[in-house]
Amino acid sequence: MSFFKLFHKVSQRFGSFAILTVIVVKGKQRSHHPKGGENVKSNSHEQDKQHAFDSFCKKILKHEARDYYDELKRQRGRETTFSDLSAKEMEQLYTEDKYFAIEQVFNVLGLDLIVTDGVIAEALESLPERKRDIILLSYFLELSDREIGDKLSMLRSTVQYQRTSTLQKLKKFMEVDIYEQQEKK
């Protein structure tokens, strides 16, 4: 298959090319246009338009990207990370609303534990001191039964039994309280 036939098949498959090709045949050079006569310039004007539009789009995208990176650089210059702020500056960034919050303070082994939920505070207040201490140490300070037993001079199994029985009492107390509140409405 000669080069011309191959080039002709490729140009038919992929479209006509307006590129002038120079073919060297046995030491001689001759010009060849893939289709038509020697003076035919197949849609070179259209290709010029496409190349100009392509160049224009690339320039626009390049400038937009540069403007975007410049804006990011300006923002980074004005921003401060939270880790760079002092404790005093961090406190100025937020507030805590404590509307209608009832705080009940329970002292357990010299530690003050604050309970802000009124129903839970009332339920804990109704318990004997020893059982209340077990619940507070278990659920507010997240101590294990063994650690609570060591601190209160009790066996681990006794702490577990009193904790589970006290939780059942608290559940009943809170169910009655919720039921009474619903009846009032």
Residue 179 has pLDDT above 70, yes or no: no
Q: What are phi and psi of 151, to 5 degrees?
A: -70, -35
What is this structure's pTM?
Answer: 0.44
**What burial class does residue 125 get, using C-beta atoms within 10 Å of its C-beta: 0-12 exposed, 13-18 middle, 19+ buried?**
exposed
Whether pLDDT at 1 is above 60:
no
Q: Is 15 within a domain?
A: yes
Domain of 180: which CATH number? 1.10.10.10
Q: Do 136 and 113 meet the contact criterion of CB atoms below 8 Å apart?
A: yes
Q: What is the pLDDT of residues 83-120, one digit of tens each?
A: 888 888 888 888 777 676 678 888 888 888 888 887 88
Helix, strand, coil proportions of the chain in percent (round to 5)?
60, 10, 30
**CA distances, 126 to each of 65, 131, 144, 170 (Å):** 68, 10, 23, 9
Position 89 in a domain: no
Number of domains in the chain: 2
Q: Is residue 65 part of a domain?
A: no
Bridge partners for 25 per DSSP: 28
Query: Could you give the CA distance from residue 86 to residue 96 in angstroms, rounded to a whole number?
Result: 19
45 falls within a domain: no
Q: Are 166 and 135 in contact (CB under 8 A)?
A: yes
Is 47 within the bounds of a domain? no
Please indicate, yes or no, if residue 63 is contained in any of the structural domains. Answer: no
H or E segment and range at residue 108 = strand 104-108
pLDDT given at position 175: 81
Domain membership of residue 25 as a residue range: 3-35
Residue 134 lies in a domain: yes
Q: Is residue 108 part of a domain?
A: yes
